[in-house]
């Protein structure tokens, strides 16, 4: 009975071996082809081949293998590689390579000065078991992202949908009002003035005047307040490219669909939204989701500007800050890389999950 089933270790070994063999054959193939490139002119291609089974010579098969076909296509499109080449080279060096480098360094104790030593998963172990601030940062990041991401996404979608039927001029003006904060650079520092801790701050002055409080609240030095305020400010700056994409997507929907739907018994605008509008703009919904999720993990600089670094009792400390702390200030690059890898995995996973969920919209 046990012959049929291989143990995990055997199976693992087999998989590793097959992958190894594939890589090896791939490398050999590429090397052969590169050699071939230089020799091609001199050598005539053989028209007969010796069949190893029978030992007789037979004419070479006319049909190409898949590999030969791909190689032919690649040669035919040489110019395409020239065109994507420069961009991809830079992209690889500045975006792809850093990701893999992080993954490798996360297994070491690299500190910028000494040669790195291999440490296995001990960095991750330390993060999860010994680093309480990291766990706090995880919690904060998840709260921050799970509020700002969906809320900003829904806000973008609803506003874009609501202003869709306004006359073009007014729509452009309203678009500007909602979009401007996201491109306004350092303008969000005005929130620091609004919530300033002394009584010159607008919020404190109002609350004092109305009698809610008797002395000013130190908004940015109070554990209870830093997170909510940072989330509000982040939301204020969050109607960005996704919002524009929704506005544009709504404009491209064929209006006759709505008229047909009205005949078919769609009763109100919400049904129209669910059954027609959203399914017709699913590509934009996907694109917007990707941008919103990515954005929701990147609000660290707002927190740093408003609450300082580190924030009071780490109340608004996110994984991004933790990464900055270890990578940028303590130079524990190995440990920082482990943080980066975890953050990377969180971001990619949440994107994948949301993408799956969105493909079901309107079905």
Partner 1 sequence: MSRKLRTRSHRVVLNRSAGGDAGIIIFLLILGAFMFLPMLYAIMQSLKPLDELFMFPPRFYVRNPTLENYSDLFSLLNDAWVPFSRYIFNTVFITACGTLGNLLLGSMAAYALAKLKFPGREFFFKVIVMSLMFNSTVNQVTHFILLSSVRWIDTYLAIIVPAMATTLGLYLMKQFMESSVPDTVLESARLDGASEFRTFWVIAMPMVKPAWLTLIIESFRTLWNSGASIYIHSEQLKTFNYAITQIISGGVARSGAGAAAAMVTALVPIIVFVINQSKIIETMGSSGMKD
By CB under 8 A, tell whether 164 contacts partner 1: no
By CB under 8 A, tell whether 338 contacts partner 1: no
Dihedral, CA of residue 142, residue 294, residue 247 and residue 158, to nearest 10: 0
Q: Which of 191, 219, 220, 225 binds partner 1 (CB under 8 A)?
A: 191
Dihedral, CA of residue 113, residue 117, residue 121 and residue 124, to nearest 10: -10
314: left (phi over 0), alpha (psi -120 to 50) or beta: left
Peptide bond between residue 310 and the one before it cis (omega within 30 degrees of 0):
yes
By CB under 8 A, tell whether 291 contacts partner 1: yes
- Nearer to partner 1 by Cβ, of 188 and 225: the residue is 188
Q: β-strands 57-59, 48-50: how paired?
A: antiparallel
Q: Give the integer Cα–Cα distance in Å for 142 and 347.
A: 11
- Nearer to partner 1 by Cβ, of 315 and 354: the residue is 354
* Residues of span 132-161 touching partner 1 by CB under 8 A: 155, 158-159
Question: For 63, which DSSP code?
Answer: S
Q: Give the integer Cα–Cα distance in Å for 232 and 228.
A: 6
Size, binding site for partner 1 by CB under 8 A: 111
Instruction: Give, rounded to a whole angstrom, the gap between the first and last alpha carbons of the chain.
Output: 46
* Residues of span 205-244 touching partner 1 by CB under 8 A: 205, 208-209, 236, 239, 241, 244
- Nearer to partner 1 by Cβ, of 137 and 323: the residue is 323
- Nearer to partner 1 by Cβ, of 226 and 285: the residue is 285
Dihedral, CA of residue 72, residue 76, residue 82 and residue 84, to nearest 10: -80
Segment (H or E) for 48: strand 48-50
Shortest approach of partner 1 to residue 241 CB, angstroms? 7
- Nearer to partner 1 by Cβ, of 18 and 189: the residue is 189
By CB under 8 A, tell whether 177 contacts partner 1: yes
Shortest approach of partner 1 to residue 92 CB, angstroms? 9
* Residues of span 237-276 touching partner 1 by CB under 8 A: 239, 241, 244-245, 247-249, 251-252, 255, 258-259, 261-263, 266-269, 271-272
Q: Which of 275, 309, 314, 344 binds partner 1 (CB under 8 A)?
A: 344
* Residues of span 13-52 touching partner 1 by CB under 8 A: none
């Amino acid at each position: 009975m046990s012959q049929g089933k291989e143990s995990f270790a055997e199976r693992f070994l087999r998989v590793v071996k097959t992958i190894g063999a594939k890589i090896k054959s791939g490398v050999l193939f590429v090397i052969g082809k590169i050699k071939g490139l230089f020799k091609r002119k001199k050598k005539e291609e053989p028209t007969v081949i010796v069949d190893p089974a029978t030992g007789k010579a037979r004419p070479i098969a006319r049909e190409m293998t898949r590999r030969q076909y791909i190689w032919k296509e690649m040669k035919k499109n040489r110019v395409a590689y020239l065109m994507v080449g420069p961009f991809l080279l830079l992209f690889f060096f500045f975006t792809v390579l850093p990701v893999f480098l992080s993954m490798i360094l996360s297994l070491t104790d690299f500190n910028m000065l000494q040669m790195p030593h291999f440490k296995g998963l001990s960095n991750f172990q330390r993060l999860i078991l010994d680093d309480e601030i990291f766990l706090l940062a995880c919690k904060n990041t998840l709260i921050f992202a799970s509020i700002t991401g969906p809320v900003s996404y829904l806000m973008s979608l609803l506003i874009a949908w609501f202003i869709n039927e306004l006359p073009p001029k007014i729509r452009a003006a309203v678009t500007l009002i909602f979009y401007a904060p996201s491109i306004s650079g350092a303008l969000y520092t005005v929130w620091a003035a609004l919530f300033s801790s002394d009584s010159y701050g607008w919020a404190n002055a109002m609350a004092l005047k109305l009698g809610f409080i008797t002395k000013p609240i130190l908004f940015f030095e109070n554990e209870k307040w830093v997170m909510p305020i940072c989330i509000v400010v982040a939301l204020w700056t969050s109607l960005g490219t996704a919002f524009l994409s929704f506005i544009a997507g709504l404009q491209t929907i064929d209006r006759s669909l709505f008229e047909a739907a009205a005949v078919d018994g769609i009763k109100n605008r919400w049904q129209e939204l669910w059954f027609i509008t959203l399914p017709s703009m699913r590509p934009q919904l996907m694109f917007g989701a990707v941008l919103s999720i990515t954005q929701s993990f990147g609000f660290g600089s707002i927190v740093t500007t408003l609450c300082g670094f580190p924030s009071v009792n780490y109340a608004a400390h996110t994984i991004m800050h933790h990464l900055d702390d270890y990578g940028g200030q303590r130079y524990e690059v190995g440990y920082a890389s482990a943080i980066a890898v975890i953050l990377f995995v969180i971001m990619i996973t949440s994107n994948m999950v949301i993408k799956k969920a969105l493909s079901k919209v309107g079905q």
